[in-house]
Structure 1
C-alpha cells in the first residue's frame, strides 16, 4: 500500500483579514494544519467560524493575508484543476446536458493531451462512477437535486484532481437523499483514493466520512480549536456504526466541543 504523505497539504500560520466598509474583519488566525495524501478531513464549527474561508484558501480562490499554503510541494497561488471544488449549489450550466457539463470540465484540463473521443470517454466514465449513465443526455432541470450534486461530484472527479474540496455539498438535500449521497461518496473515495477536505455543519456526517475532524473556534479571528482522529475501520456502514461505542464517543467529543466549549454566541447571550 502506498504510504500517505505526511504533508500533502501544509497550511502554516495562515491568517485571513477582509477589508469591509466597516473596517478590517479578521476572519481566520493562526491556522496550522497538514492533510495527508488520501486522507478525508472535515471542517466543522458554528456559522461564521471561517470554514468556507479556509476551504477557499486551499482552493486558491482566496489568498491569505499572512502565512503560506502548500499542496503537493507547491505554494497555492490561485485556483488550479489539481484542487477541484464542489459547492453546495451544484453550479451546473442549465443549457448543457449532464454529459456536456462534465465534458466541459474535462476539456479544460485534458484538451492539450487527449483527442475528443478520449475526452468523451472520460466524461462517460465519470457519470458511470456516480451511477448516472442513464441521465447523461438530460439537462439539470430534468433531474433531482441529489442527481445534480452527483453530476457536480462527477465533474470534479473527472478532472482527476489531487484534492477534492467540498463546501457543504449535501446541505440543501433532504435527509434520505443526503444519506444516500454520503454512502456513495464513501464508495467513490475508496475507489479513487482521493484526498478530500469537506466543510460540514453535520456532526454525524463528519464522523461517518472523516479520518479527522477539524473543529473551528467561533469567529471573528477563528482558529483550529481541536482535532478528533476518527479511528473507525473502512469500509463504513452507517447502520452498524450506530451501535459502535467508538462512533458514539467521537460524536460526543464533537458535540462537547461545539455546544459546551464553543457555545454559539446567540446561546451564550440567552
Structure 2
C-alpha cells in the first residue's frame, strides 16, 4: 500500500492543573489515497484529538504527521473538515456558506464565474441545488449537514476529515446521509478519515476500521480490514456473512477487550 497520509509515532500530552494528561501515545498509521478510514472507540479515547492533529488544529507533542509528502504544521485547504455541528454561518445562504471557502482557496487565481461553478457543483453533489439561496434556519438538520459536507468538498481537499458528522441526526436521516456519502466518495474518490461511535456506520462506509484503546494514553488496539465489495448496499449487506463478521469483530473489541470501566462496574 502506497502511503498518502502517514502518522508516525505520534503522541499528544495536554498540560492541566493536575499535571500532564497523556491523551494519545505511539500512534502509527499509514493511509492510502482514496481509502476510507473510521476511528472508533469509547468516549475519551482520543478519536477527535487524533482527527484534530490530522487537521492541523493542534500540534503533536511527539512524532510527525505527513500528508502528500509534506509535514502537517497547521490547518490547510488540503484537508477539509466536517464537524458534528454543521457550523454554518446563520446569516449566509447555503450558496454563500460554500462560496466563502471557495473564494478563500481559489479566489486569487480564478474568476468569479469559475468560483460560482465550483460552488454550484458542490451543492449539486449533495443534492441541494434547489436550496442554494435558503438560510440555515430554513432547512432541516440533515440538509445543514449536507451543506457542511459540500463546503468541505468544494475546496477539493486531499483528505476529508469527519468528526461524527451524523451523530446529531435521527436514525432515518442518518441512514440516508450515509448512503449519500457512499455515492459522493465513489464519485470524488476522496481520502476520508471519520470519527464515529456507530459500529454499523463504520462497517458500511470503511475500507479499514481503526480501533483505539481506552484513554488516557490511548493507542491503536486493532485495525480491521473491511473486505466488502463496493458499491455497497445496506439492504444486501444485512444478509452478508462478511458484514456480520466485521461487525462482530468491532463489537468484540469494544465490549470485551476494551469494555469501558463504567460498563464493567454496571455489569
For the criterion TM > 0.5, the same-fold answer is yes
Name 1:186's counterpart in structure 2.
182
Equivalent residue number for residue 54 of structure 2? 58
2:58 aligns to what SS in structure 1? coil
Task: Determine if the alignment matches structure 1 residue 116 to structure 2 residue 132.
Answer: no
Which residue, 30, 33, 44 being the options, matches 1:37?
33
2:43 — aligned with what? Answer: 47
Does residue 82 (structure 1) correspond to residue 81 (structure 2)? The answer is: no
Q: Distance in 2 between matches of 1:249 and 1:6?
A: 27
Q: Give the count of matched residue pairs.
A: 266
Match of 2:226 in 1: 230
For 1:73-152, what aligned pairs fall within 5 Å after superposition? 73-152=69-148
How many angstroms does 1:245 deviate by? 0.1
Residues in 2 aligned to 1:24 and 1:268: alpha-carbon distance in whole angstroms: 27
Q: 1:7 aligns with which of 3, 6, 13?
A: 3
Distance apart, 1:269 and its partner CA: 2.7
Q: Which runs of 5+ in 1 are unaligned?
A: none
| Alignment partner of 1:246 out of 242, 245, 251 | 242
Please point out which of 243, 250, 255 is paired with 1:259.
255
1:70 aligns with 2:66: yes
Query: RMSD of the alignment, in Å?
Result: 0.6
1:153 aligns with 149
Distance 2:69 2:44 in 1: 30
Residue-by-residue CA offset, 1:217-262 (whole Å, 9 max, x unaligned): 0000000000000010000000000100000000000000000000
Aligned-partner Cα distance in 2 for 1:252–1:160? 35
The TM-score with structure 2 as length reference comes to 0.99
**CA deviation after TM superposition for structure 1 residue 158, in Å:** 0.4
Per-residue displacement from partner, 1:94-119 (whole Å, max 9, x unpaired)?
Answer: 00000000000000100011011110
Runs of 4+ in 1 over 2 A off after TM superposition: none
TM-score by length of 1: 0.98
Unaligned runs of 5+ in 2: none
